């Protein structure tokens, strides 16, 4: 990491030191990655303030009676990464060590209960990273989010119309994600409607993803891709659960030029899915089933995926260990030369899909992912995991997280792709600061060894994030 980045990190740590001094008697809203779900208008009441440093930036009255108020905030992230044998020695540069930084300031203006304007900028860059830079690496200054909300009662329900550039995230972010782990998150230029009725919340949106480019205020819509969706979620109360919920959704997707191992063409894909999640008596689960159909070129699409994450935390044992197992399967194309595409498409997945290191994406893939999490103290936690990967179809290839074909299925009949291991030490202090140090490796299996370069990937990361 450069001297400039190190100096910035030291200054950040010195500046946030007083953050622990004040404790609020009114629990503030949790800090989120999107920021627009945080409502600080309770601070318009002077007795609700505790004296915490960040309160002076929230719920600033714009009118004398407080009908209009402004909240501001900021996220700063510094990250260092080192990689050896990128894409198993296939990519150039194969080895690189570099720094990443980003700043996400925002302002949130609320006028009564009916109008809200939200704006967020992004400033992001690299230090010492070798070319070529990927689109999510740098964005000098641009609009990350900028939208207006109109709120209105709909009988006994409440409705919101949101228009403009916005982050979209649903469920486990397997299909619609803000790509928070990348240096430049993902946004959409979209129209979104939200209806809350009883315990149900139903979202509908139509939009295009924003394509980040590195110069000043030059980000535009991705002209090739469009998405639309209807997403419903509600909490469930079974009596024996601490918390539980159910999601049901439909997502439409169009790509004017999509590519798979079987070829390229226009893609029109429809996804329907169900997700069950919750906690009960130390157990937690997050299970999701997805089916896809549509058209690819002159043929049809039939694809599917199952994703599970189940765990148990031993609260009475030292370090409160949590054992978990993720098991996932995403279909591949069994007959590349016919008129049916069977490769599952995760659409807009999260950036750290399988961990800090994610060289492959959930296309034509099966994996088992056991992990152990330990609470070392109130501030520190340690996670250790191992992941085994197989191809679901021997006739389909291996893809990266963005859907780019890494290795064709025609190169080998081997099923096993490789093994990944990862250690992550995380730190969280108070409300505003968190960090991590990670080490990952990916050892190639028979499919990668036969189909091209097959060196072990080594990856190390270090990150500090400050928010208020």
Domains of the chain (ranges, CATH numbers):
3-467 (2.40.160.100)
CA-CA distance, 393 to 299, in Å (whole number)? 19
- pLDDT for position 299: 96
Nearest one of 9, 118, 2 to 466, comparing CA atoms: 9
Retrieve residue 425's tokens: 């030490």
> How much is the average pLDDT of 116-140?
93
DSSP state of 30: P
> How much is the average pLDDT of 333-350?
96
The residue behind tokens 């209806």 is 195
CA-CA distance, 463 to 202, in Å (whole number)? 35
- pLDDT for position 414: 97
> How much is the average pLDDT of 410-429?
96
The residue behind tokens 């189940």 is 310
> How much is the average pLDDT of 431-460?
97
The residue behind tokens 């291991």 is 421
Residue 215: which pLDDT band, with cuts at 50, 70 and 90?
A: confident
- pLDDT for position 26: 74
- pLDDT for position 295: 98
pLDDT at 5 over 50: no
Retrieve residue 343's tokens: 């490769």
Burial class (CB in 10 A: 0-12, 13-18, 19+), 275: buried
Contacts of 395 (CB under 8 A, 6+ apart): 332, 333, 334, 335, 336, 409, 410
Percent of the chain at pLDDT > 70 equals: 95
> How much is the average pLDDT of 200-225?
94
pLDDT at 11 over 70: no
Contacts of 403 (CB under 8 A, 6+ apart): 258, 259, 260, 345, 361, 363
CA-CA distance, 59 to 44, in Å (whole number)? 6
Residue 229 vs residues 193, 232, 250, 384: alpha-carbon distances, Å: 10, 10, 6, 36
DSSP state of 54: G
Percent of the chain at pLDDT > 90 equals: 89
Q: Is there a cis peptide before residue 93, judged by omega within 30 degrees of 0?
A: yes
- pLDDT for position 17: 43
* 309 contacts 385 by C-beta, under 8 angstroms: no
- pLDDT for position 430: 86
- pLDDT for position 143: 97
Quick one: CA dihedral 233, 237, 241, 242, positive or negative? positive
Residue 41: phi, psi to the nearest 5?
-70, -15
Residue 241: which pLDDT band, with cuts at 50, 70 and 90?
A: confident
Query: Between 379 and 429, whose confidence is greater?
Result: 379
Average pLDDT of the chain? 93
Residue 27: which pLDDT band, with cuts at 50, 70 and 90?
A: confident
- The distance from CA 388 to its chain's CA centroid, rounded to whole angstroms, is 22
Q: Which residues pair with 79 in a beta bridge?
A: 100, 463
Burial class (CB in 10 A: 0-12, 13-18, 19+), 65: exposed
CA-CA distance, 222 to 187, in Å (whole number)? 11
pLDDT at 417 over 80: yes
Residue 9: which pLDDT band, with cuts at 50, 70 and 90?
A: very low
> How much is the average pLDDT of 81-109?
96
> How much is the average pLDDT of 104-114?
97
- pLDDT for position 25: 60
* 352 contacts 358 by C-beta, under 8 angstroms: yes
Retrieve residue 459's tokens: 């990856």
* 356 contacts 461 by C-beta, under 8 angstroms: yes
């Amino acid at each position: 990491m450069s001297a400039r980045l190190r100096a910035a990190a030291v200054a950040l740590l010195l500046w946030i030191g007083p953050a622990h001094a004040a404790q609020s008697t009114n629990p503030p809203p949790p800090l989120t990655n999107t920021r627009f779900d945080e409502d600080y208008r309770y601070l318009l009441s002077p007795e609700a303030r505790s004296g915490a440093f960040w309160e002076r930036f929230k719920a600033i009255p714009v009118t004398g009676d407080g009908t209009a108020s402004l909240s501001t905030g900021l996220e700063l992230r510094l990250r260092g990464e080192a990689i050896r044998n990128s894409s198993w020695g296939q990519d150039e540069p194969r080895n690189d060590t570099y720094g990443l930084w980003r700043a996400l300031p925002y302002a949130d203006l609320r006028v009564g209960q009916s109008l809200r304007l939200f704006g967020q900028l992004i400033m992001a860059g690299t230090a010492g990273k070798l070319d070529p830079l990927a689109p999510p690496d740098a964005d000098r200054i641009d609009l990350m989010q900028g939208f207006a909300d109109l709120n209105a009662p709909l009988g006994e329900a409440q409705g919101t119309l949101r228009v403009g550039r916005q982050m979209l995230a649903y469920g486990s972010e397997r299909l619609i994600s803000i790509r928070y782990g990348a240096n430049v998150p993902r946004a959409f230029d979209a129209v979104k409607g939200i209806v809350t009725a009883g315990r149900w919340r139903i979202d509908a949106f139509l939009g295009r993803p924003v394509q980040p480019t590195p110069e000043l205020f030059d980000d535009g819509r991705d002209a090739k891709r469009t998405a639309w969706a209807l997403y419903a979620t509600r909490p469930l109360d079974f009596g024996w659960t601490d918390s539980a919920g159910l999601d049901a959704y439909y997502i439409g997707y169009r790509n004017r030029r999509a590519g798979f191992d079987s070829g390229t063409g226009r893609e029109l894909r429809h996804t329907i899915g169900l997700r069950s999640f919750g906690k009960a008596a130390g157990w937690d689960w997050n299970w999701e089933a997805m089916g896809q159909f549509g058209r690819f070129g002159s043929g049809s699409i039939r694809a599917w995926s199952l994703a599970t994450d189940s765990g148990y935390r031993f609260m009475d044992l030292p370090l409160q260990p949590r054992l978990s197992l993720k098991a996932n399967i995403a279909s591949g194309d069994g007959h590349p030369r016919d008129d049916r595409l069977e490769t599952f498409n995760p659409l807009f997945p999260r950036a750290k899909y399988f961990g800090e290191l994610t060289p492959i994406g959930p296309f034509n893939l099966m994996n088992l992912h056991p992990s152990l999490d330990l609470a070392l103290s109130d501030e520190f936690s340690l996670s250790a995991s191992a992941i085994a990967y197989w191809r679901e179809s021997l006739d389909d290839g291996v893809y990266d997280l963005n859907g780019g074909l890494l290795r064709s299925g025609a190169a080998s009949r081997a099923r096993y792709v490789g093994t990944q291991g990862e250690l992550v030490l995380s730190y969280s202090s108070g409300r505003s600061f968190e960090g991590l140090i990670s080490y990952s490796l990916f050892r190639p299996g028979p499919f990668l060894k036969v189909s091209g370069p097959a060196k072990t990937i080594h990856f190390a990361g270090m990150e500090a994030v400050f928010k208020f």
